[in-house]
Amino acid sequence: MARSLVDLLTLHASAQPDRTAFRYLVTGDCDGEIQDISYGRLAQRSRAVAAWLQERGLAGSRVMLLYPPGIEFICGYLGCLSAGVVAVPGLPPHGRSQNHRAVLRMKRLIADADAQVILGGREVIAALATMTEDLPELADITCVATEDIPDAAAASWREPDLTPDSVAFLQYTSGSTSAPRGVMVTHGNLLDNERVITERMGHTPDVIEEYDRELFVSWLPVYHDMGLIGPVLNAVYLGVTATLLSPLHFLQRPERWLTAVSRYRPHTSGGPNFAYELCLKHVTPDLLDTLDLSRWRVAFNGAEPVRAATLRRFAETFGAAGFRREALYPCYGLAESTLIVTGGSVHAPPTLAAGTTADATATAGTGASVAADGAGPYLGAPDTRSVDAAAVGSGRPGPGVTLVIADPDRQEELPEGEVGEIWVSGASVAKGYWRNALATRETFRATLAGHEGRFLRTGDLGFLRDGELFVTGRLKDLIVIEGRNHYPQDLELSAEMSHWSLRPGCTAAFSVDGGAAGEQAVVVAETAPEAAGESEKIIDLIRGAISEAHGVPVRDVVLVHPGTIPKTSSGKIQRRASRAAYLDGTLSLVGGTETG
């Protein structure tokens, strides 16, 4: 029985050394330059990196990984695991031109992880050499380009003494509501979560053979849990092929993702909700004529609120290219549980609960019931407007995963249909936060009456219906106005739909203290520069849309330039940081002025 992914890599390298493990589309285009690596070669390069680390006595130490998109990151990551070293994936620098926020994040990660070595690509290592003024910490850290480690080093590799409880890597959380924290993911956590992914997404032996082992296409960043644990490590777990492209190449031309899916015909591919919106924004009749999406069976959608309207429009639009509604696959997970917690049913459309998520709560914020009528499959919804406002089901827990909805204050389980905090237990739940005993105790050690063992408190709100999870928002992001709770993503969606120039997934709603008036809502929205002359009209439309849909008066609407709203490394809106920038007067308004 495999003890780790290292054992499985060794198995695949022996059983199918010539099988392509990963191919990377260098330009993002299927007809451009392509790099690939076989399982035999992947094992050799990983062992070479591992041997280099072992020779320096680094077992148990933290090694930061700073790579551009590509195959070299995978060799470095698996090299760390093969050496018994704790890998710390990070966002690579972009030279001296990178923004202050990125430098600050890297500084925090280096300090928190106490990294002894940085592994990266040649260009990244060269860039780090120019950053000692901004990052004086680099003076005490060994920086190495793994391309320069010779293949011959693999001969001295020694199999590490790993146990299920050995820490494999630190997955730093995206920090949507707090400073990033290093989640200690063990080798046992990894194997269990890969098992859950395999079961939930239907990656059976028969399916793998049906697809000739071509299972994944992914543009997701590999330093983030969704891109790493999903397409990359599940490929290694199963011994299949994954096709990768750069997130930047996808963002520049979203059709590259769909073209790769059409060309390589994988079973599974996906991303956050905004990725599907980008595809819809850039689709053309000519593109639809060139695509064949009929073999795409799992189009997973997670990491941010899943919009019913997005699912409906994507299915309708790309149905012309053979895409099947049943392929839409909402899912839910978080770094603290390695990755996946719940997932939809393969070959079945998503489930909806009618009514907006804001309707699901009362003054207490949790424990309020959701109306039972209107729930049902995504297909056949008679009223498009009600479909667009519905909460989307994120599927059911995987085997061995226990999920309950709890009252976060009383720490008691709530009945089905009531909104509360999502609590999770199982072998995929990580060990805790690196060097943060207090946060570990608060988040990973919760107890629940009537249940044995410890639970992970996710900080997310949701409810269960017929065993399926519906995620409704973040506990810390709730906006309370006149005794009613509102989820910011609901207000953000209403705002974004009010005018064509407002960018999907680029709006932040939060509350500020209005003194005697109590909490008041504020909306900050990124808008296209060409709409600057319509600012007053756009602001009025946003106010009207939110007032009509939610009965919420908006104190202030701020229109800002694209790229202004703070986001996490995984693209989630940082509402707290947006609120702080608003209050500090540091938001750059459309028109060149600043708030305040």
Name the residue type at position 301.
N
C-alpha dihedral over 465, 469, 472, 478, to 10 degrees? Answer: 100
Sign of CA dihedral 317, 320, 321, 322: positive
Q: What is the pLDDT of residue 596?
A: 43
- Residue 585 has a CB neighbour count (10 Å cut-off) of 10
Which pLDDT band, with edges at 50, 70 and 90, does 379 fall under? very low
For 451-510, where are the alpha helices, taking DSSP H only? 488-496
| pLDDT (tens digit per residue) in 258-291 | 999 999 999 999 999 989 999 999 999 999 999 9
Contact assessment for residue 491 and residue 509, using Cβ atoms and an 8 Å cutoff:
yes
- Give CA separation, 554 vs 134, 185, 478, 551, in Å: 40, 42, 15, 10
Q: What pLDDT was estimated at residue 483?
A: 61
Confirm whether 137 is domain-assigned.
no
522 vs 279: CA distance, rounded Å: 29
For position 228, what pLDDT does the model report? 97
Specify burial of residue 438 (Cβ count, 10 A radius: 0-12, 13-18, 19+). Answer: exposed
Q: What is the mean pLDDT of residues 402-408?
A: 95
In a domain, 241, yes or no: no
Phi, psi dihedrals of residue 251, rounded to the nearest 5°: -65, -35
Please spell the DSSP secondary structure of 157-212, one letter per residue. -------TTSEEEEEE---SSSS--EEEEEHHHHHHHHHHHHHHTT--HHHHHHTT
| 522 and 515 Cβ atoms separated by less than 8 Å | no
Q: What is the CATH number of the domain that holds 577?
A: 3.30.300.30
Residue 538 lies in a domain: yes
Q: Is residue 501 part of a domain?
A: yes
d(CA 356, CA 527): 25
The CB-side HSE value for 404 (13 A sphere, CA atoms) comes to 23
C-alpha pair distances (Å), 41 with each of 36, 52, 72, 80, 307: 10, 17, 12, 16, 41
Q: Do the Cβ atoms of 549 and 542 come closer than 8 Å?
A: no
Pairing assessment for the beta strands 502-513 and 519-527 based on DSSP bridges: antiparallel
The overall average pLDDT reported for the chain is 89
Neighbours of 104 (CB within 10 A): 12
What pLDDT is recorded for position 265? 98
Q: What angle do CA 300, 445, 360 make, to 5 degrees?
A: 50
Q: What is the mean pLDDT of residues 160-186?
A: 84
Mean pLDDT, rounded, for 110-124:
93
What single letter denotes the amino acid at residue 586? T
HSE (CB half, 13 Å, CA atoms) of 236?
A: 27
- The mean-pLDDT minimum among 312-326, 369-383, 544-558 falls in 369-383
pLDDT at position 445 is: 96
Name which residue leads in pLDDT, 126 or 359: 126
Please state, in angstroms and as integers, the Cα–Cα distance from residue 340 to each residue in 227, 229, 300, 466, following that order: 12, 9, 11, 20
Q: How far apart are the first and last CA of the chain?
A: 62
pLDDT of 367: 55
Q: Where are the beta strands (DSSP E) in 350-446?
A: 351-353, 376-377, 391-392, 396-397, 402-407, 412-413, 420-425
| 63-73 average pLDDT score | 96
pLDDT at 516: 60
Host domain of residue 496: 479-584
Residue 362 CB contacts under 8 Å (≥ 6 apart), including other chains: 368, 484, 485
pLDDT at res. 364: 30
d(CA 257, CA 251) in angstroms, rounded, equals 9
Q: Read off the pLDDT band of 381 (50, 70, 90).
A: very low
Question: CA 518 to CA 511: how far, in whole Å?
Answer: 10
Q: What mean pLDDT comes out for the span 250-263?
A: 97
Any domain includes 525? yes
How many other C-beta atoms lie within 10 A of the C-beta of residue 263?
16
Q: How confident is the model at residue 449 (pLDDT cuts 50, 70, 90)?
A: confident
From residue 66, alpha-carbon distances to 37, 157, 211, 232, 374 in Å are: 20, 23, 33, 16, 48
Highest-pLDDT range among 90-104, 133-147, 149-163 = 149-163
19 in a domain, yes or no?
no
* pTM (two decimals): 0.83
Which range, 99-103, 131-135, 204-208, 387-391, has the best average confidence (pLDDT)?
204-208
Report if residue 527 sits inside a domain: yes
Which secondary structure element, helix H or strand E, spans residue 263, and what is its range? Answer: helix 255-264
Task: Determine the average pLDDT of the residues in 338-361.
Answer: 77
Is the model's pLDDT at 465 over the cut of 90? yes
Give the residue-averaged pLDDT of 254-261: 98
State the pLDDT at residue 480.
Answer: 74
Angle, vertex CA 287, rays to CA 281 and CA 289, nearest 5: 135
User: Does residue 593 carry a pLDDT above 50?
Assistant: no
Structural domains counted in the chain? 1
Q: How far is Cα 169 from Cα 230, in angstroms, rounded to an integer?
A: 15
Radius of gyration of the chain (CA): 24
DSSP code string of 387-404: HHHSEEB--EEPTT-EEE
Residue 195 lies in a domain: no
pLDDT digits (tens, 9 = 90+) for 312-322: 999 999 999 99
Provide the CB-side half-sphere exposure for 336 (13 A, CA).
Answer: 23
The better pLDDT of the pair 374, 51 is held by: 51
Q: What is the pLDDT of residues 488-517, one digit of tens each?
A: 888 998 899 999 999 888 999 998 877 666
Minimum mean pLDDT among 69-73, 132-136, 278-282, 585-589: which range?
A: 132-136
* Dihedral Cα 192, 198, 199, 201, nearest 10 deg: 130
Confidence (pLDDT) at 386: 46
Confidence of residue 174 (pLDDT cuts 50, 70, 90): low
**Are 459 and 406 in contact, with CB atoms under 8 Å apart?**
no
Percent of the chain topping pLDDT 70: 89
| In the block, residue with structure tokens 């109590």 | 518
Burial of 434 (0-12, 13-18, 19+ CB in 10 A): buried
Rounded-to-integer distance, Cα 85 and Cα 59, Å: 5
Q: What average pLDDT does range 218-231 have in this prediction? A: 95
The single residue listed with the structure tokens 């914020």 is: 365
Instruction: Please state the separation of Cα 80 from the chain's center in Å.
Output: 23
Query: What is the DSSP secondary-structure string of 53-101?
Result: HHHTT-TT-EEEEE--SSHHHHHHHHHHHHHT-EEEE-PPPBTBTS-HH
Looking at this protein, which amino acid is placed at residue 7? D
Mean pLDDT of all residues in 384-411: 84
Per-residue pLDDT at 548 exceeds 70: yes
Rounded Cα–Cα distance for residues 460 and 394 (Å):
13
Q: Please provide residue 413's backbone torsions phi and psi, each rounded to the nearest 5 degrees.
A: -70, 140
